[in-house]
Structure formats: C-alpha cells, structure tokens
C-alpha cells in the first residue's frame, strides 16, 4: 500500500496530530539500542486507548501492513526496528496507573508506565515492583521481553509478577488473560505466553502486576578477587549455601579501570563482586557475615560492607557507572551488548572463556553480569566492518558455548533480530510448534515481522 493512502486512512482512526511522518520522528523509531541496522517506518502512531490500538491492528491485518510496537526503545537486540517499514506503534501515551489495591498487593496500569514511575506511585504504601533492568523501561516492554536485571536473583523476573493482561490481537479483538488471584491452574497460561513475546503476538494494553513488600533493612558489600574463576566460584558457593542475596553482580577489572579513569575514584582494579542483602537488621547482618566467610574462603582480596544508605551507594558506585564510563573511554566507537545465561555451576568456565577470547581479540570488552542467576553480558566497542566481524565472532562463540553447556542464548535481553540464528539450535523440534503458535495468533504476520521466531514471514 502507498504511504499517502496509509497515512490518510490512519488519520480516520486517530487524531491527525497523532499520525506522524516527520523525518526526525521516523528516524527516532528506525533503530534501537546497541543494534546497527536501521529501517524507517512509513508512519509513527500514538494511540491513547485500547480501542484505538484495536482499530489500528484490525486495519493493519486487513491491509497487510507491518506493525512494530515500541515503548521506551531500550531493548538491545533490534526488537523495535521496523524491518518492513509500515506502522511504528508508539505506546508511550498509554501511561496511566488505573487502579492500586495495596490490600491485594496489586496494581493495574497501562503498558507505557515505566517501572520507576510505578515505584514512585506505590512507594508510600511500603510496596514495590522489584524488577530492575536499569534503563527506565516501560511495563509493556518489560513484559514483552520478560526483562529481569540486578534483583532477579532474589525477586525473580518480570513474568513472575504478571497476574493478568489485556491484549489486542492482530485482528483487533480484545482479550483478557489471567485473574487477580495470586495463583491459578486454570486453562493454558496465555499470560505467560505473552511474557517474552516481543510484540509478535499482539499488543499488551493493560497489565495487572503483583507487588512485593519493601524490605525493612538492606546491606551491601564490594568484594574484589584476583581472577574470574575465584570470583564466580564464590558466587556459586554463596547461592548453593542458600544465602538469600538480593543482588549479586560481577564487574570485570577492565570496567573498574574505566570507572576510575572516568570519575577519579580508586577502586581496586580487580574482578569485583557487588552484593546486596534485604531483610530485617539481624538477618542482613547474619547474611553479610556468612558471605564474608565464603568470600575469604574463595580468596577474596577484600570484603568492604555497610548497612548505611550513603555508604551502600558508594560501594555500588562502580557498578552503576560502568556503562557510561566505558562509552566515555571509547569515544566515537559503536558497541554491542551480548547476553547469555548458563547453569550456575558452569559460570566460572563460561565467564573465564569469554574474557580470554576478548583479551585475545584485542577489542575493548567490558563484562558485567547478574551472576547470581548465571547471567552475564559483555559490552564490546568497535570501529569499522573488520572489528564488527570480530565482535560477531566473539558473541557467536559465547552463545554456542552457553548452549553447549545447557544454557540459553539470551538470559533477559530477548531474541529480537540478532539472536534469531540460534533459535533452531536452542529449541530443536519445539521451534516448529512455536512457529505454529505465531501463525495461529498472527496468520498474516503483521506483528513485528522478522523478530523472535525465524522463518515465519
């Protein structure tokens, strides 16, 4: 269909000022984070209600126009690039909290609400939504990628908090999945199917989330080790000992080095584990004592800890500032972040192998990991096509090794475009069933084509 006709017809569904073809806006919707390929949509639309989303999807399916849902656009694997042009469906204006029921520990919100906005809203009630992927992501984007982040080792992933959804199917039909009960054995679990669906099965227009109680006390520690093997062995021992760690992050020596250079700090430039414990005061003190013993047994060079809020922030500073320090240390270079997760006992070998390969390649790579879950990332900076080919080779080795030891090609960032090539290797025969699910929800493949499941366009 011609672009002019498409735009004119969309203007009969939405107010004309919310149907945008301005070049700058199209370019903002042409690419995602950490992914080079770009493709302009024909038009960007800003619905403000479920009804409007339904009319857009009905129209798109009837006219075979591709639709790419997008919210904060912080996903890292090319999820939001409108590969076939068409409609970029910007959900950021669906941004209202609709109902808060502290007595049921739940909240109902539109998908464009970000998790920091949600936490600000519910904070006074002593509740919070504990999933923290770092970037100020939207609830819809987090559900669609099944995001997790630093606190997943204690609190779980986004999907663990989704009780119910309202979803617009590609035909424009509006369905509701799940209930307000905290558990259910009824029907097939369609709510969970939408967790990690990456906008390929419909558009989430309302979310019901359960919340957690804010912990009474917290403590933090920073623990440097002389090598990756000892640091990750400590993590494995800590988890196996059943210590209820709330956050457990690994940052490699290279990353600490750029943080020191960037902000003038003098953190030991070693492989470092950052820890946080949540609970009541005697509980977190006991957790710290046990963690310190296990750390020293694994060869920790130092164990610095505190329960004081300001001091805790200081202990975690290097972790929080790592990404921006790495960008500053590599001016003008592009970067790619890769993400794998492995069984916890295989973490030492997977991390050591990835770091050695990076060192041998001569590229600047920075490793961070939510290692309490066996999940780690390397951000690699590069310039030009030769270096890009090297980064791709390094990431390929990391993913295929993770798969060979029973891990996954993506612990939390999702498949998008870049991980499509591993789906067959990872899922074998069940990939065919996934294709059938996709086709039965979206027979004309208008929803985010070219993502998540290979070979269904």
Ligand X SMILES: Cc1cc2nc3c(=O)[nH]c(=O)nc-3n(C[C@H](O)[C@H](O)[C@H](O)COP(=O)(O)OP(=O)(O)OC[C@H]3O[C@@H](n4cnc5c(N)ncnc54)[C@H](O)[C@@H]3O)c2cc1C
Where do contacts with ligand X occur on this chain (CB under 6 A)?
33, 68-76, 79-80, 91, 111, 133-135, 137-138, 140-142, 144-145, 147-149, 198-199, 203-204, 323, 412-413, 448
Say how far apart CA 349 and CA 331 lie, in whole Å: 32
Please give the structure tokens belonging to residue 389.
């080919």
**Closest separation in Å from C-beta 116 to ligand X:** 12
Please identify the residue of the shown chain whose CB is closest to the bound ligand X.
141
**Closest separation in Å from C-beta 250 to ligand X:** 13
Q: Which is nearer to ligand X, 236 or 448 (CB)?
A: 448
**Closest separation in Å from C-beta 71 to ligand X:** 4
Longest dimension (CA), the chain: 69
Rg for the chain, CA atoms, rounded: 22
For residues 262-271, b (16+ Cβ closer than 10 Å) or e, as one string? beeeebbbbb
Say how far apart CA 139 and CA 72 lie, in whole Å: 10
**Closest separation in Å from C-beta 123 to ligand X:** 21
Q: Which is nearer to ligand X, 80 or 233 (CB)?
A: 80
Strand partners, 274: 222, 249
Q: Which is nearer to ligand X, 119 or 230 (CB)?
A: 119
269 CB-near residues (< 8 Å, 6+ apart): 253, 256, 257, 260
Say how far apart CA 426 and CA 399 lie, in whole Å: 10
35 CB-near residues (< 8 Å, 6+ apart): 76, 77, 78, 81, 336, 416, 417, 418
Q: Which is nearer to ligand X, 134 or 443 (CB)?
A: 134
**Closest separation in Å from C-beta 32 to ligand X:** 6
Say how far apart CA 333 and CA 358 lie, in whole Å: 17
**Closest separation in Å from C-beta 80 to ligand X:** 5
Residue 414 phi, psi (nearest 5): 100, 180
Residue 82 near residue 39 (C-beta atoms within 8 A): yes
**Closest separation in Å from C-beta 413 to ligand X:** 5
Say how far apart CA 64 and CA 201 lie, in whole Å: 15
For residues 272-296, b (16+ Cβ closer than 10 Å) or e, as one string? bbbbbbbbeeebbeebbeebbebbe
**Closest separation in Å from C-beta 24 to ligand X:** 18
The closest alpha carbon to 104, from 194, 164, 146, belongs to 164
Q: Which is nearer to ligand X, 251 or 288 (CB)?
A: 251
Q: Which is nearer to ligand X, 33 or 229 (CB)?
A: 33
Q: Which is nearer to ligand X, 303 or 366 (CB)?
A: 366
Q: Which is nearer to ligand X, 312 or 452 (CB)?
A: 452
Q: Which is nearer to ligand X, 69 or 407 (CB)?
A: 69
**Closest separation in Å from C-beta 132 to ligand X:** 7
């Amino acid at each position: 269909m011609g672009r002019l006709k498409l735009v004119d017809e969309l203007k009969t569904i939405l107010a004309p000022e919310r149907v945008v073809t301005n070049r700058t806006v199209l370019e903002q919707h042409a690419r995602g984070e950490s992914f080079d390929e770009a493709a302009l949509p024909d038009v960007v639309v800003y619905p403000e209600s479920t009804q409007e989303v339904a009319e857009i999807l009905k129209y798109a399916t009837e006219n075979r126009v591709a639709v790419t849902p997008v919210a904060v656009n912080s996903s890292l694997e090319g999820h939001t690039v409108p590969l076939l042009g068409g409609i970029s469906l910007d959900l950021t204006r669906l941004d209202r909290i609709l109902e808060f029921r502290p007595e049921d520990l739940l909240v109902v919100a539109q998908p464009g609400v970000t998790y920091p906005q949600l936490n600000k809203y519910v904070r006074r009630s002593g509740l919070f939504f504990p999933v923290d992927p770092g970037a100020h992501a939207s609830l819809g984007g987090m559900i669609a990628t099944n995001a997790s982040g630093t606190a997943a080792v204690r609190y779980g992933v986004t999907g663990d908090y989704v009780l119910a959804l309202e979803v617009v199917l590609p035909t424009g039909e509006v369905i509701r999945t799940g209930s307000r009960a905290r558990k259910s054995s009824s029907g097939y679990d369609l709510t969970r199917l939408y967790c990690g669906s990456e906008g390929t099965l419909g558009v989430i227009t309302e979310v019901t989330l359960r919340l957690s109680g804010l912990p009474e006390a917290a403590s933090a520690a920073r623990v440097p080790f002389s090598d990756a093997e000892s640091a990750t062995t400590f993590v494995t021992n800590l988890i196996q000992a059943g210590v209820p760690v709330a956050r457990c992050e690994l940052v490699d020596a290279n990353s600490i080095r750029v943080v020191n250079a960037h902000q003038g700090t003098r953190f030991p430039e070693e492989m470092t584990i950052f820890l946080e414990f949540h609970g009541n005061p005697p509980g977190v003190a006991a957790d710290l004592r046990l963690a310190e013993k296990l750390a020293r047994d694994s060869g920790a060079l130092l164990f610095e800890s505190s329960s004081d809020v300001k001091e805790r922030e200081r202990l975690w500073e290097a972790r929080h500032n790592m990404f921006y320090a790495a960008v500053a240390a590599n001016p003008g270079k592009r970067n790619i972040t890769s993400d794998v997760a492995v069984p916890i006992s295989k973490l030492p070998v997977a991390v050591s192998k990835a770091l050695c390969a990076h060192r041998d390649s001569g590229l600047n790579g920075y490793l961070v990991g939510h290692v309490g879950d066996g999940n780690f990332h390397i951000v690699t900076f590069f310039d030009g096509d030769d270096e890009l080919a090297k980064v791709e080779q390094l990431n390929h080795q990391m993913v295929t090794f993770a798969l060979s030891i029973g891990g996954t090609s993506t612990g939390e960032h999702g498949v998008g475009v870049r991980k499509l090539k591993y789906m067959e290797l990872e899922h074998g025969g069940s990939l065919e069933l996934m294709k059938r699910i996709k086709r039965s929800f979206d027979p004309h493949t208008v929803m985010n084509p070219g993502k998540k499941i290979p070979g269904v366009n």
